[in-house]
Amino acid sequence: MAKQSYVGRKVVVVDGTRTPFLKSGTGYRDLMAYQLGAVAISGLLKKTSLDAAQVERVIMGTVVHNIVTSNVARECALTGGIPFTTPAHTVSQACISANQAIAQGADLIRLGHADVVVVGGTDCVSDIPIGFPKKMRTKLFASQKIRSTGEWLKFVLSLRPSDFKPEVPQIAEYSTGRTMGQDCELMGTRFGVTREEQDEFAARSHQLAAKAAGEGILANEITPAEFPPSFKAIKEDNTYRADTTVEKLAKLRPAFDKKNGTITAGNASFLTDGAAVVLLMSEEKAKALGYDTSVQIRDYVFTGQDPNEELLLGPAYATYKLLQRQNLTLKDLDVIEFHEAFASQIVTNLKALNSDQFAKEKMGLSAKVGEINMDKFNIHGGSLSLGHPFGATGARLVTTAINRLKRENGKLALLAACAAGAHGHGMILEKV
């Protein structure tokens, strides 16, 4: 594997924030994704006391696309207080959409095309678009040319009850037809992941999130959300369960493989609404404006795997690649934050990182990465407990990581996430 380096201008991660994450169908059920993104952006501007006119680009990730706000980044920016003269564009790469937005923003700065960029993501699954079957869409499109009463009558008579069956977007791979949960079951089986391991990790995530919330750590990352007509501030996540135990999780039935499965509603992430954003600057600009320049992006990678066998193994692949090309080991890392799609997915990736066989056969390396120190890993909870707004999670990971580096006086942070399509992302942040 060729050694690479992250060249160009230094990119500073100034700060980040997010809306409270809420279970879909609850507090944000009457809202749209752009409204959540706007709250996050306006909150970031307020938190950093940044003049919005300084922002040169806004990039937002999203997964659940609404045709009404096709470029949701633009609507987020305009509603969030960014001047209309600032361009904005939307990116989509499943669960690493925000990660892609951050990477693109960093590259704009690195290559000298911008100095101040707002990046992140937003999703409101409560407002998921529901369409008609292809046959019905074809008929409706053709109906636009109807001019006579006879033609209208013919059109109406051509309609069948099946034409009105709604099409709800599925969290499934188009290429395989399997859901993420089904693929995760298969992947976990190959790596020998047990139900007990999954429930233990899920309980850990919820308990750590509840502890972080109680200590005020999560509040430092959250911008309260207020919306008409009540304007009652939503200040906290409604996602984690402080009373979660392994014993309670063990009573839940499998969700995907009803007979032999190990993944349940309790050890899988759930549908979530929310938005998160991060402020990136060139080191020179950040210094000129008086911002903290201590946390910088050192490197990042995106990976692609076999969707038939390795759908959610992106974090392992990304970690191997990043550590190798940066000549680092796990011992060099002070903070580790992984996206938790499923407890099985996390345990599988941890096993892959600690597998000589995986290192040799999949990465072409002579030695494994090793066993991750769990005292450094997702110590304030993760997506299993905090929730996973598809397009926003990557920005939450970055915000959590930079805060941890500063609070724990660490030097290096590793972030990693999996995504549909068998993609992965990894990023190293450095506190200089």
Positions marked active-site? 95, 418
Alpha-carbon gap, residue 65 to 125, rounded angstroms: 10
3-state secondary structure of 200: helix
The closest alpha carbon to 334, from 363, 298, 291, belongs to: 298
Side chain identity at 53, as an amino acid letter? A
Alpha-carbon gap, residue 15 to 24, rounded angstroms: 27
DSSP bridge pairs for 370:
none
Q: What are phi and psi of 192, to 5 degrees?
A: 70, 35
Kindly report the length of the chain.
432
For tokens 């692609």, the residue is 304
Q: Interior CA angle at 275 toward 76 and 78, to 5°? A: 10
Alpha-carbon gap, residue 328 to 341, rounded angstroms: 26
Alpha-carbon gap, residue 318 to 325, rounded angstroms: 11
The pair of three-digit structure tokens given for residue 346, joined into one six-digit string = 């996390």
The closest alpha carbon to 363, from 307, 409, 318, 329, belongs to: 318
Q: Interior CA angle at 231 toward 227 and 235, to 5°? A: 85
The closest alpha carbon to 267, from 95, 398, 382, belongs to: 382
Alpha-carbon gap, residue 284 to 376, rounded angstroms: 31
Question: For residue 418, what are the CA distances in angstroms to 99, 169, 316, 422?
Answer: 11, 20, 9, 7
User: Per-residue DSSP letters for 284-347?
Assistant: HHHHHHT----EEEEEEEEEE--TTT-TT-HHHHHHHHHHHHTT--GGG-SEEEE--SBHHHHH
Helices assigned H by DSSP within 94-221: 97-110, 134-143, 149-158, 180-190, 195-214
The closest alpha carbon to 280, from 400, 86, 101, 62, belongs to: 101
